[in-house]
Each structure stands twice: as C-alpha cells, then as structure tokens.
Amino acid sequence: MKLFLPQSQLEEWALEDKADVKDGVLVVTGEEGVYPVTPAVHIVQLVTGEDANDLVAKVKTEAQLQSLGAEQMADSVLLGDTAYEVVPGYVAEVPISPSDAGSADGKTGSEADLLAAFLLNKMG
C-alpha cells in the first residue's frame, strides 16, 4: 500500500530515533525490513489561479509534477499561473495486512490511520 509521509513527521521520528529516510528507503529502528520511499507532495489547497488539473487534495511525486510541467518551491507548487500550497514528504510502500487495515467496526480506516497503526505496531 502507498502512503504519504509528511516531511515534518519524518523529522520528528528521526529526532526520536524511531525512523529515518536513507538512500531512498524508510528505515524503522529495530526493524529488519526497509520501505521504499519516493519524494512527493500533498497538495493542500489552491492559492491562486484555477485548479484545471484537479490537483487539490492529491499526492503527487516529483516525477508526476515534472510531467505536468509543475515546479516545486518549498511548500508551494507552481503550474503555469496556478499556485498551490503543499506539504512536502514522501510516498512510502508499506505492506499492510488485512488485519492492520480494518478498524473495530470492520471498515477500512483512512490512510493516516493505517499508517499510524502500522508504525505504532512496528515502533511500539
């Protein structure tokens, strides 16, 4: 499963020696496995212009942004005359078993909930 990890969360984990991104992988302290990550942004909101590409609330990798002709600058993405506010981070490939994915009522949680459950289980 692909999940978005905000850079701020990764920095917090690194300071706490829980996890870090090294050489394109997420390394979780005490775990043997590593999880491939790709630099990406979560497009939070439209700042100026029109969202002709329907990007708000989406996660896009650097390669996807380049293919659109967009340019990232810190917490902004510019695409022509359109500017977006973004949260920088990474897309991580994490194996989520069906037992991790369901909540108490049997429904699948949000990606943030799934990631939190996965990492709490791994870092617990």
User: Cα(95)–Cα(26) distance, rounded to whole angstroms?
Assistant: 13
Model confidence pLDDT, tens digit, residues 63-80: 999 999 999 999 999 999
Helix (H, G, I), strand (E, B) or coil at 123: helix
User: Cα(40)–Cα(38) distance, rounded to whole angstroms?
Assistant: 6
List, for the chain, all residue ranges whose pLDDT scores fall below the cut of 50: 103-108, 124
pLDDT of residue 93: 84
pLDDT of residue 95: 74
pLDDT of residue 99: 54
Model confidence, pTM: 0.77
User: Cα(107)–Cα(6) distance, rounded to whole angstroms?
Assistant: 25
DSSP 47-72: EES--TT--TT-EEEHHHHHHHT-EE
Distances from the Cα of 71 to the Cα of 21, 34, 89, angstroms: 23, 29, 15
Cα of 107 vs its chain's centroid, Å: 22
pLDDT of residue 108: 47
